[in-house]
Structure 1
Amino acid sequence: MLKKNLEEKTPCRKAEVLKYASLVVFGFCWITGCTVGPNFKPPNPSLPAAWKGATAADSARISTTVPEPVTLVEWWKSFNDSTLSSLMERAMRSNLDVRQASARIRQARASRGVGAAALWPTLDASALYRRSGSGDSSSGGNTTDTSSLIRGGGDQNLFSAGLDAAWELDFFGGTRRNIEALDADLQATVEDRRDVLVTLLAEVGVNYIDLRGLQGQKAIAEENLRAQQKTADITRRRFEAGFVTGLDVANAAAQTATTASRIPVLEASIQSTIYNLSVLLGEPPTALAQELQEKAPIPVTPPQIPIGLPSDLIRRRPDIRRVEAQIHAATARIGVATADLYPKFSLTGNLQFSADDFASVANWNNRSWSVGPNVLWPIFDAGRIRWNIEVQKAVEEQTLLAYEQTVLSALKDVETSLVAYAREQENLKLLGEAVMNNRKAVDLSMELYTSGQTDFLNVITAQQSLFVSEEAQILSRRNLAIDGVSLYKALGGGWEKGEEGMVR
Structure 2
Amino acid sequence: MKKLVSAMAIAALPLSACTTVGPDYRAPQAASLGVPDSYHSLAQPAPSPEQLATWWQRFGDPKLDRLVDQAITGNLDLAVATARLRQAREAVVQARAGRLPSVGASAGAGENFDSDGDSSTRLALGADAAWEVDLFGGIGRGIEAARADAESVGYDLAAVRVAIIGEVASNYIQARLAQAQLQTARDSLRIADENLDIAGWRVRAGLVSSLDSEQARAQRAQTAASIPNIESRFASAAYRLAVLTGEAPGALTDRLAAAKPVPTGPEAIAVGIPADTLRQRPDVRSAERSLAAQTARIGVAEAQLLPGLRLTGNIGTTALGLGSLFDLVTGGVFAGLSQSLFEGGRLRSQVRSQEAATEGALATYRKTVLTALEDVENALVALQAAKARQAEFAIALDAANNTAIMARSQYRAGLTDFQTLLEAERSLLSARDGIDSSRADQALAIVQLYGALGGGWDPLAPATGVSS
TM-score by length of 1: 0.84
Tell me, in whole angstroms, the C-alpha distance in 2 between the residues paired with 1:395 and 1:122.
32
From the superposition, tell whether residues 156 and 244 of structure 1 become closer, same or farther in structure 2 (CA, over 3 Å). Answer: farther
Give the secondary structure class of the aligned counterpart of 2:337.
strand
Tell me, in whole angstroms, the C-alpha distance in 2 between the residues paired with 1:265 and 1:157.
89
Give the secondary structure class of the aligned counterpart of 2:341.
coil
Tell me, in whole angstroms, the C-alpha distance in 1 between the residues paired with 2:173 and 2:112.
80
Give the secondary structure class of the aligned counterpart of 2:311.
strand
Tell me, in whole angstroms, the C-alpha distance in 2 between the residues paired with 1:391 and 1:220.
62
Report the structure number with the largest CA radius of gyration: 1
**Matching residue of 2:327:** 364
Tell me, in whole angstroms, the C-alpha distance in 2 between the residues paired with 1:500 and 1:475.
40
Paired residue for 1:326, among 290, 314, 322?
Answer: 290
Preserved CA contact (<8 Å) 1:74 1:497: no
Q: 1:122 and 2:95 equivalent?
A: no
Preserved CA contact (<8 Å) 1:37 1:332: yes
**CA deviations over 1:91-140 (Å, ceiling 9, x no partner):** 1111111111111111111110111011112221013457899xx9xxxx
**Matching residue of 2:4:** none
**CA deviations over 1:455-481 (Å, ceiling 9, x no partner):** 111111111111112112211111111
Q: How does 1:305-454 map to 2 (within 5 A)?
A: 305-354=269-318, 359=322, 362-365=325-328, 367-454=329-416
Paired residue for 2:238, among 264, 274, 277?
Answer: 274
1:363 positional shift: 4.6
Q: How does 1:75-474 map to 2 (within 5 A)?
A: 75-128=55-108, 159-354=123-318, 359=322, 362-365=325-328, 367-474=329-436
Stretches of structure 2 that go unaligned for 5 or more consecutive residues are 1-11
**Matching residue of 1:69:** 49
From the superposition, tell whether residues 251 and 156 of structure 1 become closer, same or farther in structure 2 (CA, over 3 Å). Answer: farther
Tell me, in whole angstroms, the C-alpha distance in 1 between the residues paired with 2:366 and 2:397.
46
1:389 positional shift: 0.8
Give the aligned CA root-mean-square deviation in angstroms.
Answer: 2.5
**Matching residue of 1:10:** none
Moved over 6 A (4+): 26-29, 130-133, 155-158, 497-504
From the superposition, tell whether residues 500 and 89 of structure 1 become closer, same or farther in structure 2 (CA, over 3 Å). Answer: farther
1:76 positional shift: 0.8
1:299 positional shift: 0.3
**Matching residue of 1:13:** none
Tell me, in whole angstroms, the C-alpha distance in 1 between the residues paired with 2:463 and 2:134.
38
Tell me, in whole angstroms, the C-alpha distance in 2 between the residues paired with 1:497 and 1:42.
17
Tell me, in whole angstroms, the C-alpha distance in 1 between the residues paired with 2:462 and 2:87.
19
1:269 positional shift: 1.6
Give the secondary structure class of the aligned counterpart of 1:421.
helix
1:368 positional shift: 3.8
Preserved CA contact (<8 Å) 1:161 1:361: no
1:161 positional shift: 2.6
Preserved CA contact (<8 Å) 1:177 1:336: yes
From the superposition, tell whether residues 211 and 255 of structure 1 become closer, same or farther in structure 2 (CA, over 3 Å). Answer: same
Tell me, in whole angstroms, the C-alpha distance in 2 between the residues paired with 1:247 and 1:500.
72
**Matching residue of 1:38:** 23
Q: After the TM superposition, which of the residue ranges 199-208 and 346-355 deviates more from structure 2? A: 346-355
Give the secondary structure class of the aligned counterpart of 1:375.
strand
Tell me, in whole angstroms, the C-alpha distance in 2 between the residues paired with 1:499 and 1:228.
57
Tell me, in whole angstroms, the C-alpha distance in 2 between the residues paired with 1:283 and 1:492.
26
From the superposition, tell whether residues 185 and 464 of structure 1 become closer, same or farther in structure 2 (CA, over 3 Å). Answer: same
Amino acid at match of 1:325: R
Stretches of structure 1 that go unaligned for 5 or more consecutive residues are 1-25, 55-62, 137-147
Amino acid at match of 1:403: Y
Preserved CA contact (<8 Å) 1:215 1:295: yes
1:392 positional shift: 0.9
Tell me, in whole angstroms, the C-alpha distance in 2 between the residues paired with 1:185 and 1:273.
36
Tell me, in whole angstroms, the C-alpha distance in 1 between the residues paired with 2:465 and 2:193.
59
Preserved CA contact (<8 Å) 1:130 1:158: yes
**Matching residue of 1:21:** none
From the superposition, tell whether residues 480 and 102 of structure 1 become closer, same or farther in structure 2 (CA, over 3 Å). Answer: same
1:353 positional shift: 2.7
Preserved CA contact (<8 Å) 2:123 2:322: no
Tell me, in whole angstroms, the C-alpha distance in 1 between the residues paired with 2:314 and 2:74.
52
Preserved CA contact (<8 Å) 2:121 2:321: no
From the superposition, tell whether residues 46 and 460 of structure 1 become closer, same or farther in structure 2 (CA, over 3 Å). Answer: same
Tell me, in whole angstroms, the C-alpha distance in 2 between the residues paired with 1:339 and 1:389.
9
**CA deviations over 1:30-54 (Å, ceiling 9, x no partner):** 47x7311100010121211211111
1:347 positional shift: 2.3
Give the secondary structure class of the aligned counterpart of 1:305.
coil
Amino acid at match of 1:224: S
Q: 1:51 and 2:39 equivalent?
A: yes
1:279 positional shift: 0.6
1:28 positional shift: 6.9
**CA deviations over 1:385-436 (Å, ceiling 9, x no partner):** 2111111111101100101111111111111111111111111111111111
Amino acid at match of 2:377: E
From the superposition, tell whether residues 500 and 276 of structure 1 become closer, same or farther in structure 2 (CA, over 3 Å). Answer: farther
Tell me, in whole angstroms, the C-alpha distance in 1 between the residues paired with 2:324 and 2:296.
48
Tell me, in whole angstroms, the C-alpha distance in 2 between the residues paired with 1:282 and 1:114.
33
From the superposition, tell whether residues 424 and 53 of structure 1 become closer, same or farther in structure 2 (CA, over 3 Å). Answer: same
Aligned residue pairs, count: 452
Preserved CA contact (<8 Å) 1:29 1:172: no
Tell me, in whole angstroms, the C-alpha distance in 2 between the residues paired with 1:42 and 1:248.
74
Give the secondary structure class of the aligned counterpart of 1:382.
coil
Preserved CA contact (<8 Å) 1:97 1:196: yes
